[in-house]
Chains A and B, each alone.
Chain A
Amino acid sequence: MSTTILFTIISLSAIGAGAAIILYFVAQKFKVYEDPRIDQVEEALPAANCGGCGYPGCRGFAEALVKADDISDLYCPVGGNETMGAVAKILGKEVEAKEPLVAVVRCSGSPEHRKRVNEYDGASSCAISSALYAGETNCQYGCLGLGDCVEVCDFDAIYMDEETGLPVVVDDNCTACGACVKACPNDIIELRKKNKKDRKIFVSCVNQDKGGIARKACKVACIGCGKCVKVCPFDAITMENYLAYIDPNKCKLCRKCVTECPTGAILEINFPPRKVKEEKKDAAKEKKAEVSDKKENDSSTQNK
């Protein structure tokens, strides 16, 4: 070996070794002690970093879990009960099994039902549009259709239907992280209990105007007539500000309110179609069946 090569090897090795020693001491001196459990917990988490738990990313949640004495209030919506069970085992703490939730869009105001009375030409953002005015229709509470909820979803669980201008939730992908709920300026999306076979019954309306005004703005609005409240055998429905609300925890999916509703504001999703009984309600029922069918076809038909 020539002296050049020898000299090069020696000098570079010496520099490398020197650097390694310096780095070792620096790393030791400035080492931050971290509870090794944080790493273990982070491994068990789904690594979606969606913020649905309320903490900045999965690492942030792992730190909170390790620090907290009582973790029964902490929950990862993406991982669900399985993940929380694994975390509980690692930490030796207790968790309660929580009911899975799913996002539900509570508006049926497509152009077919809700007339457009002006044209919006501003930036494509619901937040911007709602700050400006009440929207393209006479219902100032309903969906603006500009897709802030779609933008913010990390799980491809919501998309905008071209024809209806309304968002559609893909139940199978939805992790109930709550991002779309926060993004909607009109509070139209709600996290509701996830039932067997993805069945849902809910009031697909958030309009708080008096019945006549609501109905004029949208044909399938809730007019606050109260018939559903009266007919519910489980006291699951309440009425406030001319708007009915079905408590998902009390509702037993008996579908009586769906039949009773005169405008078709209450929707039943993923139920088998039923025989038409009354002549009078044909038109309303057909519309409802259409909407249920459409949602049935759109969402996955896997049974749990």
Chain B
Amino acid sequence: MLKTFTKGGVHPAESKYSADSAIEKLPLPKTVSIPVAQHIGVPSKPVVKKGDKVKVGDIIAESAGFVSANIHSSVSGTVSKIDNVLDSTGYKKPSVIIDVEGDEWNEDIEQSTDLKKEISLTDKEIVQKINQSGIVGLGGATFPSHVKLSVPEGKKIDVLIINGVECEPYLTSDHRLMLEKAEEMLVGIQILMKALSVNRAIIGIENNKPDAIEYLSGLIKNYPGIEVQELKVKYPQGGEKQLIKALINREVPSGGLPLDVGAVVHNVGTAYAVYEAIQKNKPLFERVVTVTGQSVKKPSNFMVRIGTPVNDLIEAAGGLPEDTGKVINGGPMMGKALNDLDVPVAKGTSGILILPDEMAARKPENNCIRCAKCVSVCPQGLEPYLLNKLTQLEKNDILEQNGVMDCIECGSCAFTCPAGLPLLDYIRLGKSRVSRILRSRKQ
């Protein structure tokens, strides 16, 4: 019996069309627009102005608080303006727009690709350098990584968990990273272990990636303390609470953090970015993005500079298919539908999914038939049909009692509902109303 989380979960079709496409470097775009808010927390403050010349890796926006991140230029060229530009949030947001000239890198960055295993920094220095390098969670949540590594007084961490699950259908960027940059990633994990002062790390991988499991299981002999654990394919295995439950059988308490059960979770992409930052002085300015979909001519995984327009990626994957219905930033379960294809790739863009017409429309909507399928699939043990109804009736206090803030917005409920109800739409609305009430209570 393969390990997995015990409550709820669904099985969407895997559709991993790009699993065998090796990572390709995407050619540089003509201009990039780099949003100053690509992470959870306070948006960064630009430190360049119109006309400044920048090199790859130069800092262009500074972290504006503890929960914030530095942003670095992904190209070399001239800053053309700092303006509100449409980005993947669906609204116009402040961004730094740079006209690309050449590909000159900041001198501090070591550009060789030799594997560097020796870790010379202390734990505090590591956390500081991760902070300086603008590293955020690359699984899609974009939580500033140095915050996760700053363990508050009184909490004891005994295990680092590495998320190589990639439970979203269609996406394969983590998969390819594990196959092609395995040793760099493992060194990155060791760096993280040192930063947290733990001597145990577990990499969780779903068993639809047997090549990655086999390859990594062979390599970890040379990396003491790191284990590889095969997991059953079930969505949302990659949710950090579900992953912790599956790997070490601990349940993060409601309203709590993984810290509360002695664990810290990081994505494999983040571990790789940490390796590059610590060992090669390379800040975060590029990432692997999957471009995929039923009708995409060339499903691919590209190494893309932050700020590249999504259109460039779609062109490189064979162009926008004729029957395109929806273009999604991310995976099909939690990704965000785009309304414009010139939006830039940001730190949290794990994939671009193109869904054909026949898959773009929602199921026709009926009355709720109280079949309780949503209750049986909710990984957090909530009752989506009830949260949906309570939000529509605006009963915010009862919503809070029923645990609406525990919802991880995985989408399993709406995925499963036979009546095609927009459960997650209303639950998200309920969450935003309740969180506003909670915030005003604190004040």
Chain A contacts to B: CB under 8 angstroms: 117-118, 121-123, 125, 127-128, 131-134, 140
Contact = CB atoms under 8 A, between A and B. Distances in A.
Contacts of A133: 89-91, 336-337, 339
8 contacts: A117-B340, A121-B362, A122-B422, A123-B425, A133-B336, A134-B92, A134-B339, A140-B91
Interface stretch (B229-237, B281-289, B426-434): B426-434
Interface residues of B, number: 18
Nearest to B394: A152
B435 to A, nearest CB: 12
Contacts of B340: 117-118
B201 to A, nearest CB: 37
Interface string B403-443: 00000000000000000001001101100100000000000
Interface in B370-401: none
B339 A123 contact: no
B115 interface: no
Interface of B: 86, 89-92, 336-337, 339-340, 360-362, 422, 425-426, 428-429, 432
B408 to A, nearest CB: 17
B90 to A, nearest CB: 3
Contact of A125 (B89, B336, B362, B425): B425
Contacts of B362: 121-122
A293 B28 CA distance: 55
A134 B429 contact: no
Nearest to A122: B425
Nearest to A152: B394
A128 B429 CA distance: 6
Q: Which 7 A-B pairs have the closest CB atoms?
A: A133-B90, A123-B422, A123-B425, A118-B339, A128-B425, A134-B91, A134-B90
B23 to A, nearest CB: 30
Contacts of A125: 425-426, 429
Given A118-B339, A121-B361, A140 B425 contact: no
Nearest to A129: B425
A121 B360 CA distance: 9
A131 B362 CA distance: 19
B339 A117 contact: yes
A134 B340 CA distance: 11
Contacts of A134: 86, 90-92, 339
Contacts of A118: 339-340
A123 B426 contact: yes
A185 to B, nearest CB: 10
A118 B428 CA distance: 22
A125 B430 CA distance: 13
Contacts of A122: 362, 422, 425
A236 to B, nearest CB: 30
Given A118-B339, A140-B91, A128 B426 contact: yes
Contacts of A127: 429
A106 B361 CA distance: 32
A221 to B, nearest CB: 15
A71 to B, nearest CB: 27
Of A123, A127, A134, the most chain B CB neighbours within 10 A belong to A123
A131 B336 CA distance: 12
A35 to B, nearest CB: 29
Contacts of B426: 123, 125, 128
A86 B425 CA distance: 46
A128 B90 contact: no
Nearest to A124: B422
B80 to A, nearest CB: 17
A131 B431 CA distance: 12
Contacts of B339: 117-118, 133-134
Given A117-B339, A118-B339, A123-B422, A131 B92 contact: no
A131 B429 contact: yes
B274 to A, nearest CB: 32
A131 B428 CA distance: 9
A132 B90 contact: yes
A209 B244 CA distance: 46
Contacts of B360: 121
Contacts of B429: 125, 127-128, 131
B91 A128 contact: no
B432 A131 contact: yes
